[in-house]
Amino acid sequence: MGRLSPLQQSVEELKEILSEELTIYQKLRSFARDKKKLLLEKFSTDLQTIVTQEEILVQRLIDLEQLRRDLVAKIAGSTNASLDAAIEKVADADSKSDLWLLGSQLRDLMTEIKLINDENQKLLEQALELTQYSIKLITRVPEDVTYGPGGKQSPKRPGSVLIDRKA
């Protein structure tokens, strides 16, 4: 076997390019499956379980909030009184200290939860941006780089893309 003709050499190069493209698309498919698994199984299932538990706890907080407001109003002698106003009306030092400590811990905890929820919101936004970016990468139409007869660029036609852009 001797040297390849220019046509045979081009065919071999094209085969190498197509082989490399195939390898890349296989990797992209693997990544897509991995992301789907995370989103549909682990991420979604775990997240849904947590959200369901949160809903139960929030409903209980709604019930307790009304009871708390009623008791604060009763202790403070005013319907719109704050916990601090009610604490001022308590004579027993130990009870006053306990109420103040509980109120302080609740405020600190609510602040911490808000910070964590803000961070989670940012993480979800980043995940959404990454997903949108990935979709754009996968669905973009490759530009024609070949030329037609006479050295003129071939007419534009809808790209033959393996992935439907509407997905």
Let me know if residue 142 belongs to a domain. no
Question: How do residues 19-48 score in pLDDT, each as one tens digit?
Answer: 787 778 777 787 767 766 666 566 666 777
Confidence of residue 85 (pLDDT cuts 50, 70, 90): very high
Would you say residue 17 lies in a domain? yes
The overall pTM is greater than 0.85: no
Between 159 and 48, name the one with better pLDDT: 48
- Evaluate whether residue 92 is within a structural domain: yes
Give a yes or no: residue 136 inside a domain: no
At residue 128, φ and ψ (nearest 5 deg) are: -65, -45
Would you call 107 helix, strand, or coil by DSSP? helix
In a domain, 29, yes or no: yes
What distance in Å separates the CA atoms of residue 141 and residue 21, rounded to the nearest whole number?
Answer: 15
Name the band, by pLDDT with cuts 50, 70 and 90, for residue 145: low
> CA-CA distance, 6 to 132, in Å (whole number)?
43
pLDDT at 25: 77
Residue 137 lies in a domain: no
Question: Do the beta carbons of residue 103 and residue 83 sit within 8 Å?
Answer: yes
- DSSP symbols for 9-77: HHHHHHHHHHHHHHHHHHHHHHHHHHHHHIIIIIIHHHHHHHHHHHHHHHHHHHHHHHHHHHHHHHHHT
CA distances (Å), 147 to each of 15, 143, 144, 155, in order?
Answer: 19, 12, 8, 9
Q: Exposed/middle/buried for 113, CB within 10 Å: 0-12, 13-18, 19+?
A: exposed
Asked if the structure places residue 128 within a domain, the reply is no
Task: Using only the alpha carbons of the chain, give its radius of gyration.
Answer: 32
If one counts the domains in the chain, the total is: 1
Contact status, residue 76 vs residue 89, Cβ threshold 8 Å: yes
C-alpha dist (Å) from residue 128 to 121, 132, 135: 11, 6, 11
Q: Name the nearest CA neighbour of 159 among 146, 27, 21.
A: 146
Range of the domain at 79: 6-116
Whether 138 is covered by a domain: the verdict is no
